[in-house]
Structure 1
């Protein structure tokens, strides 16, 4: 089931966020604005929708997206990376000097 992988930089940023905030989850809305940026929320504070699909996990953090987006990526593996700059407004990486990005997927299946 895990179609998500993370670079070392993403794993390190996730560890930093979890040390500050405890368990977290990723959600990728697929909408406009920051819709293609993986957002990180405290576990239990973000409501997963009935149409959301878990694509996998990065460490202990589940990675969710909407059902339509998951269907569009059915034949791809996705890479989460961390790059310099601030994250999206409501994501836990927004006050750090790095933020999560989704690298262009490569068809692998």
Structure 2
């Protein structure tokens, strides 16, 4: 099955360390300015999802969300979350370690896109469904 969001081994190792240190985490990518193009890692219990947030999938046991308006620009791509040395957002959990999460993308093939669409339509009963609004 094609996944909408993946993570590199380096990102998964970093996520594992952060989860062991801080507890459950989640990722959010907003459509805003400043760090809007970088995935932000938050404590799951301390981040409130908005009405326009959708769940893209899960990496390293952490759900990944994106603003629905921004998702329209990413609907046809597979996202891969990676990590690099550098300064990210002051609000993201990896920043104190001198790291920053970043997002890479590749275009989905027509077959992959159709498979994702079919999977999302057949799984409509699930809450917080990939590609669907959370609260609306």
Q: Displaced runs of 4+ in structure 1, greater than 6 A?
A: none
How far apart are the structure 1 equivalents of 2:31 and 2:84?
Answer: 19
Distance 1:88 1:65 in 2: 16
The alignment yields a C-alpha RMSD, in angstroms, of 1.3
Higher strand fraction (1 or 2): 1
Question: For structure 1, which runs of at least 5 residues remain unmatched after alignment?
Answer: none
Shift of 1:99: 1.7
Note the residue ranges of structure 2 that are not aligned, 5 or more in a row. 114-136
TM-score, length-normalised on structure 2?
0.75
Deviations for 1:28-51, whole angstroms, at most 9, x for unmatched residues? Answer: 012111111111111111000111
**Length-normalised TM-score, structure 1:** 0.93
Structure with the higher helix share, 1 or 2: 2
Paired positions, count: 108
Counterpart-to-counterpart distance in 2, 1:2 and 1:30? 21
Using the alignment, how far apart are the partners of 1:90 and 1:98 within structure 2? 12
Q: Is the 8 A contact 1:3 1:77 kept in 2?
A: yes
Report which of the two structures shows the higher radius of gyration computed on alpha carbons: 2
Bigger drift between 1-10 and 59-68 goes to: 1-10
Residue in structure 1 matched with residue 128 of structure 2 by the alignment: none
Q: Quote the residue 1:62 is aligned against.
A: 63
Contact 2:31/2:69 (8 A) holds in 1? no
